[in-house]
Amino acid sequence: MNDPVYEKTSSLYDKYVMQTYPKADIVFVRGQGSHVYDSAGREYLDFAAGIAVCSLGHCHPAVTAAIREQAGKLVHVSNLYMNEMQPRLAQKLVEHGFDGTCFFCNSGAEANEGLIKLARKAGSEKGRFEIIAMKDSFHGRTLATLAATGRSKYRKGFAPDMPGFKFATFNDFDSVAALVNEKTAAVLMEPVQGEGGVIPADPDFPARVRELCDKNDMLLLFDEVQCGMGRTGTFYAWQNYGVAPDALSMAKALGNGFPIGAVLASRKYSHVLTPGTHASTFGGTALASAAACAVIDTYDKENVLANVNERSGYLMGRLGELKEKYPRITGVRGKGLMIGVVLDCPATPYCAALREKGMLALSAGENVLRLVPPLNVSQADCERAVALIEEVFAEDAAKNQQNN
Ligand SMILES: Cc1ncc(COP(=O)(O)O)c(C=O)c1O
C-alpha cells in the first residue's frame, strides 16, 4: 500500500501504543458531519459515530467554534475555584428534565464510579452497600465498574472482583426482587442496554423496579452513558419510560467527542457527596463545559430530537423490510437512533463487509449489528445506509445459495 500516512502511523502504533485494542488497519484523518475520511482520502458514511459519541456529527461548526473560543480564554483552573461555564452546563442539564445537581468528570466509567459511590455513601449509615446490576450490562473498565458489569468476559484476569455486586436478569422483575436484602443500597441498569446487544427495557420494567426501590429505601441508578443525550429520541433515556431514577450517569455524546462525563443526582440525593468525599481534577473544566454547553444548545437550535424520531421511523421500517427478505436477519430492535439488527450469526464480518463498501457500523453482544449514527443524520444518508446494508445481505444470501 502506497500510503505514507498509514505506514508511518501504523508503525508508531506498533512501537509506542499499548495494544489494548485489536490493531486497526485504517487511519482516519478528517471528519465532517456524518462522514469521515481515511489517510488514502476514502470517504466513509459513519453509522458508528465514535461509538455513539459524535451525535452532532464530526466537527460541528458550533461545537468547534465554542472549543476554539474557550481554549483561547480559559482552559482549566481546578475545582478549587469556580469557572463560568460549569454551572451553566449543569443548569442546561437540569432544565432538560432532571431536577437535581451535577458532578462532572471525564468518562463513562468515571461517571458510573460516581453513581456507585453515591449509592454506597447514601446507604453507609444503614449498612447498605450492595448494588443489584443486570446480566449483559456494561458499565466501564475501572475496577468498580467492571465489578458492576454483568458480562463476565470483561472481568477475566482481574480477580478478585470488587465485592458488593449482584446480578439480576434484565427485564425480569422477579429476578431483581429476589436479590433484595437489608444490605441492598441500589439497583443499577441501562434503560437501553448498549454493548449487551441494543436491548431496550420492557415498557413496565423500569416502573416496577422504581416501585421496588421506593418500598425498600434503595436508589434507582440509570447508566445513560450510551443511551442518554437524545440517542433514544428523548433527551434522557428514562423519559421514554416516564420513570425518573434517583441518579444517572452520562458521558459519550455530552461533549460530542470532547471528553466529559456527568453524574446527576435528584434533589433528594444532592447532598450525599459532600466536600472531600469525591473529586476529579479535570471534572467540568471551563473548556469541557463550554464544549458540552454548545452541544446542548445545538440540539435545541437544530431540533435534533425531532430528527432522531423521524430518521428512526424510517430506519426501523426499512430494516424491518430487510428482515422479511433476508433470513439471516432475525430481528430489528432499539429506540431512536440506537438500533440493533439481530443476526443468526456473529455480526463482526458484516461490519467488515460494510466497511469495504464505505460505511462504518458496530457490533454489540455477539450477533447484533449496531447502528448509532449522528443524531442529526440526513434522510439521504439513512437511505444510503439502508442501500449498503441491503447490498451486504444480498451478497451474503447469494453466496449462501452458491454454497448450498
Ligand atoms: C452504558 C455504558 N456505560 C459505561 C461505559 C464506559 O464509558 P467510558 O468508555 O467512557 O468509560 C460505556 C462505554 O461503552 C457504556 O456503553
pLDDT in tens, 170-188: 999 999 999 999 999 999 9
C-alpha–C-alpha distance, residues 110 and 115, integer Å = 9
Sign of the CA dihedral with 281 first, then 283, 289, and 292 last:
positive
For residue 325, the CA-to-ligand 1 centroid distance in Å is 34
Neighbours of 230 (CB within 10 A): 26
Q: Are 196 and 150 in contact (CB under 8 A)?
A: yes
Which atom of ligand 1 is found nearest the CA of 190? 1
Distance 139 CA to ligand 1 centre (A): 5
Q: State the pLDDT confidence band at 151, using cuts at 50, 70 and 90.
A: confident
**Which CATH class for the 4-59+303-403 domain?**
alpha beta
Whether 306 and 377 have beta carbons less than 8 Å apart is answered as no
Q: What is the C-alpha separation between 341 and 318, in angstroms, rounded?
A: 11
Q: Ligand 1 mean position to 107 CA, how many Å?
A: 7
Q: Whose CA is nearest to atom 3 of ligand 1?
A: 139
Name which residue sits closest to atom 7 of ligand 1, judged by CA.
108
CA-CA distance, 58 to 25, in Å (whole number)?
21
**Set of cell numbers at residue 161:** 472482583
pLDDT digits (tens, 9 = 90+) for 287-318: 999 999 999 999 999 999 999 999 999 999 99
pLDDT, residue 394, reads: 98
Q: Is the pLDDT of residue 341 over 90?
A: yes
CA atoms of 185 and 131, how far apart (whole Å):
6
The residue type found at 69 is: E
322-346: average pLDDT: 98
Rg, C-alpha atoms of the chain: 21
Q: Which option is the CATH number for 61-301: 1.25.40.340, 3.40.50.10190, 3.40.640.10, 1.10.1370.30?
A: 3.40.640.10
Cβ of residue 190 lying under 6 Å from some atom of ligand 1 = yes
Q: Give the count of alpha carbons within 13 A of 388, CB side only.
A: 23
Asked if residue 29 lies in contact with residue 37, where contact means CB atoms within 8 angstroms, the answer is: yes
Strands (E), 128-211: 130-134, 165-168, 184-189, 192-193, 199-200
Secondary structure (3-state) at 147 = helix
Q: For the chain, which residues make up each domain, given as ranges?
A: 4-59+303-403, 61-301
Region 95-105 average pLDDT: 98
For cell 422504581, the residue is: 210
- Please report how many Cα atoms fall inside a 13 Å half-sphere around the Cα of residue 325, on the Cβ side: 16
Q: Could you tell me if the CB of 225 is within 6 A of ligand 1? A: yes
pLDDT confidence tier of residue 2, bands split at 50, 70 and 90: confident
pLDDT of residue 152: 87
- Residue 401 pLDDT > 90: no
**Could you tell me what percentage of the chain is helix, strand and coil, using 3-state DSSP and rounding each to the nearest 5?**
40, 20, 40
What atom in ligand 1 is closest to the CA of residue 140? 6
Chain mean pLDDT for the chain? 97
pLDDT at 1: 63
Per-residue pLDDT tens for 234-291? 999 999 999 999 999 999 999 999 999 999 999 999 999 999 999 999 999 999 999 9
In angstroms, the Cα distances linking 283 to 25, 116, 141, 280 are 33, 17, 19, 5
Residue 335 has pLDDT above 90, yes or no: yes
Q: What is the mean pLDDT of residues 161-171?
A: 97
Task: Decide whether any atom of ligand 1 lies within 6 Å of the 39 Cβ.
Answer: no
- Dist. CA 8 → ligand 1 center (Å): 30
Over residues 127-153, the mean pLDDT reads 96
pTM metric for this prediction = 0.98
Residue 201 has, within 13 A of its CA and on its CB side, a CA count of: 28
At 403 the pLDDT is 84
Average pLDDT of the segment spanning 139-153: 95
C-alpha 110 – ligand 1 centre gap (Å): 9
Whether residue 107 has its Cβ less than 6 Å from ligand 1: yes
Alpha helix stretches (DSSP H) within 85-124 = 85-95, 108-123
Closest approach atom of ligand 1 to CA 51: 14
Which residue has the least CA distance to atom 16 on ligand 1?
Answer: 226
Grid cell, residue 153, equals 468476559
What pLDDT digit, counting tens, does each position of 6-54 carry? 999 999 999 999 999 999 999 999 999 999 999 999 999 999 999 999 9
